[in-house]
A and B are shown apart, each in its own frame.
Chain A
Amino acid sequence: ILNVEQSPQSLHVQEGDSTNFTCSFPSSNFYALHWYRWETAKSPEALFVMTLNGDEKKKGRISATLNTKEGYSYLYIKGSQPEDSATYLCAFLDGGATNKLIFGTGTLLAVQP
């Protein structure tokens, strides 16, 4: 059974704080790691797809790093804003021919003004 774990489970920060979350995944048979942003009452939206060890991706104030050898990825948010409040999901692509994504349980971020 493949496990994808995220920590912390939830996080409350003040506007302007920078924050980061962790995603742990199996380090063997790695194909890709996806990060999604999921606002309440909406559908998950893709942030990044990361494939290579040492990858760093950035979108605005959000960035992510990938370590496939040790099986973790960090998501960073610089200068959090209230609109960043959402659940951040990582998903491990279980390789092979099926594109099966194994999702973590997510980190719920609440940014207070």
Chain B
Amino acid sequence: DTAVSQTPKYLVTQMGNDKSIKCEQNLGHDTMYWYKQDSKKFLKIMFSYNNKELIINETVPNRFSPKSPDKAHLNLHINSLELGDSAVYFCASSHLDRPSTDTQYFGPGTRLTVL
């Protein structure tokens, strides 16, 4: 029944490691997003893919690389993790062709802690 799911829910890792967060949606949406919730609880867009094509790429370090194997999945890979990467990362999905009516549906978030 889960609409947008993320794994893992919690991720604790050491500085310098490489890690991935997975996201899957079963809503039939064609667009998926990654957001970062910073220390001030602010939600900021990082990336967006439409039908496996990157359409939003905000100013994030190139250690962050999204990968979309198909339109139902958008994974986030982070290389050489730094302390400042600690945050909650949210995945979301929507229909791109209904921007004025369709909301974005969010996953439960992945809390990443870099030690």
A binds B: yes
Q: Using a CB–CB distance below 8 Å, which chain B residues touch chain A?
A: 4, 31, 40-45, 48, 55-56, 90, 94, 96, 99-109
Q: A49 touches which one: B45, B56, B100, B109 (CB < 8 A)?
A: B100
Task: Tell whether A105 pairs with B41 under 8 Å between CB atoms, given A32-B99, A99-B96.
Answer: yes
Residues of B within 8 A of A45 (CB): 106
Tell me which of A31, A99, A103 contacts B44 (CB under 8 A): A103
Give the size range of A's interface with the partner. 20 to 34
- Of the A-B pairs whose beta carbons lie under 8 Å apart in the complex, a sample of 29, sorted by A's number, is A31-B99, A32-B100, A43-B90, A43-B108, A43-B109, A44-B90, A44-B106, A45-B106, A46-B103, A46-B104, A46-B105, A49-B102, A51-B100, A51-B101, A87-B41, A93-B99, A97-B55, A98-B48, A98-B96, A99-B31, A99-B48, A99-B94, A99-B96, A99-B104, A100-B48, A101-B104, A103-B42, A105-B40, A105-B42
For A105, what are the chain B residues with a Cβ–Cβ distance below 8 Å? 40-42
Give the Cβ gap from B24 to chain A, nearest Cβ, in Å: 14
A42 at the B interface (CB under 8 A): yes
Looking at chain A's contact residues, the main secondary structure is: strand
A43 proximity list for chain B (CB < 8 A): 4, 90, 106-109
